[in-house]
Structure 1
Amino acid sequence: MSESSFDVIVLGAGAAGLMCAAQAGARGRRVLVLDRAEKPGKKILISGGGRCNFTNIHTAPERFISANPHFAKSALSRYTPHDFIALVDSHGIAWHEKTLGQLFCDGSARQIVELLLNECAKADVAVACDEQIGRVDHSGVRFAVTTQSQTVDADSLVIATGGPSIPKMGSTGYAYDLARQFGLKVVEPRPALVPLTLGGEDVLFRELSGVATPVEARCGKAAFREAALFTHRGLSGPAILQVSSYWQSGAAIAIDFLTDKERDWLLAEKRDNPGSTLRSVLRAALPQRLADELAERLSLDGPLANVPDADLRVVGARLADWRFQPNGTEGFAKAEVTVGGISTAELSSKTMEAKRVPSLFAIGEAVDVTGWLGGYNFQWAWASGWAAGQVA
């Protein structure tokens, strides 16, 4: 075997690609990883505020979005958060759990990149960065990849170049172009885990830029209890990022601003504090600027004692189901991940191999599987990369 020939070529030195390469190399396969960035793991390094939210202990298939909601079950069950935690522990990386099962490095996200590179080095994997892929050819037996500096070939090819989210990190839709070259279908990609923009009557809420508060945000059947943040363009914060993955143009999102209040809490407030006003009770429960804006829009003046119970019920229901009509998102530039991608109908759920193109694999964000905020997408990268690495 010459220096230009390998058993496996992995396109993409991100989380999924490096995991796959290390696994294949550990089986004795000669592996080459190619990446257009100047260094591996660029998106890993900026994740989790630089500390890498590397998995979530509550990982479950229903916390992933896909045209086929069952597809992720096989890989996720075969390589679990506990498997990756064991790998992290074996490298002596200290970590901690934050809210909702999210695990972060105590130190730096760089530790996760170093872990992956050390695993690759241990398995004699070659990693070549700053390689611009010019073309990929397939003879029917082997794959040939031509870059600006070389042409290499291999028995197996793994697409691990991610999706178009965060283009400033070098992300593109190349995975989809390559998939289509081989006749694989692509589910239309759209930004996910992304801030939503507001227009029309909702535009005045932009004046609350910087105000954050715990809410329950809902879109369709999806509901998330975390913080929402008003921005100069619309809505953000964890709860909004979560529902953004389910939101599609023309749909509304619903916000419950007072998740800890009982259904008829305003009637109880009227009974216990008849002289209070809607503005005053909202100020006691919400940030002042938000309370004032909501009170202004609800136009309920005077002491609660003077307000009919039916009106108070209507106001309470509105506060628990406040509808916003986003006019868009902040796009791939601000999206953490992508919904859509290479169709799971084209792939084996066990191996991630293309059904119609033997020895071609697709993993990670390139595939139509998208996790919730909070480490789920990293776990999909580890699990799908591990699955492909067992057979590539």
Structure 2
Amino acid sequence: MIKNLSFKNFYSFADETVIDFGLGKKPTPSGYDIEIEGERYNKAIAVVGANGSGKTQFLKPLAFLRWFACDSFLGSAPDQAIPFFPHQLKGYESSFFELEFMLKGVDYRYQLELTTEAVVSEALYEKTSSQFSYLFKREKTAKGYSFKQKGFPFSKVQAEKLRSNASLLAAAHSYDVAEAQPFIEFFNRIESNIVSSGRRHFQQGAVIDVAEKFQQAPALLEKMSDAMSQFDLGLNSVEIRKLVGHDDTGKEEQIFVPFGMHSTSDGQRFELPFFEESSGTQSAFVLLGPILNTLQKGGIAVIDELDNDLHPHLVPHLLEWFEFDHSNPHQAQLIFTCHTPEVLNLLQKHQVYLVEKRDQNSEAWRLDDMTGLRADDNLYAKYMAGALGATPEL
């Protein structure tokens, strides 16, 4: 479970910005609460704001940290730039991230400072009593890196020679350091439709990738098929078939293609490959990949434009999956952006962030940080009237 994330100098956010899932004791209990040892945390957070305000960039740190912690060692070349951008006016400064999370009942803190060329420092801390003690600390020096560890037995020689564009967590995992495995599993449970360039759209490659993952998980495949038919998309069910396709070089390869099963009221039946279905159907299919996987395994779904190509009535339905224990048995979390202001009628003020860009710098705030905003205020009406900010200036 993620408790909070702070980041600085990342895309359009120049200053320190915090995504806080903690509630404190004041907010009225809701179905979107996680309670652990007397503390409460959000299951769902909506991010609202005008076009170009920085909503996608607000979610990118989580997607980036997942890639960096899990895949940067084997997934990038030794001389490759680290795939992110600092704020355009602060490219000469490093970027910083601090993630606090709970794993198997223990609190951890992961810190990372880096530029697009090199890691400046990387550290993982474990909470013991009331203090955090480091498991490992890695810092850049004139000759490479210094490395200290307590209970994280990665070779000091390897750590100090580790290339500058890779995570020590990812490297330790590739060298079969058992102590790295739980953290890799944690970061891998950050499911997202965001890549470095922004939201991953429902083009053919995305549909095929998601279809293959569903095919490998029969339980998820069944839930996806049921959900697609419940969404009233004219589908009775969805089947995934293994077909022969061709890669970019013309070489034959096996691909997984979803087919929509349709029927009419008089019993006639037909099927369509998903590439002939509507954009909304394709978008819903791709969206269900990270959402259903998160609900089944736990973790957090980081979804940009949850309402894109979907009917507004479907958004409450998706949120309900995270609300109830029978559909969310592992207390999975969800953070999402949307352009549907009606979401303000579904969530409370501590479950909504607004994002606004001022003087080319994005800023974000949670609604319960606003002075004078009451718990029983009509958030939708106030937002539509412009009283909360984060609306287009027309």
TM-score bracket, shorter-length normalisation = under 0.3
Q: Scaled by the length of structure 1, what TM-score is found? A: 0.23
Look at both structures and tell me which one has the larger radius of gyration over its CA atoms. 1
Q: Scaled by the length of structure 2, what TM-score is found? A: 0.23
- Which structure exhibits the higher relative contact order, with contacts defined as CA atoms closer than 8 Å and separated by 6 or more residues? 1
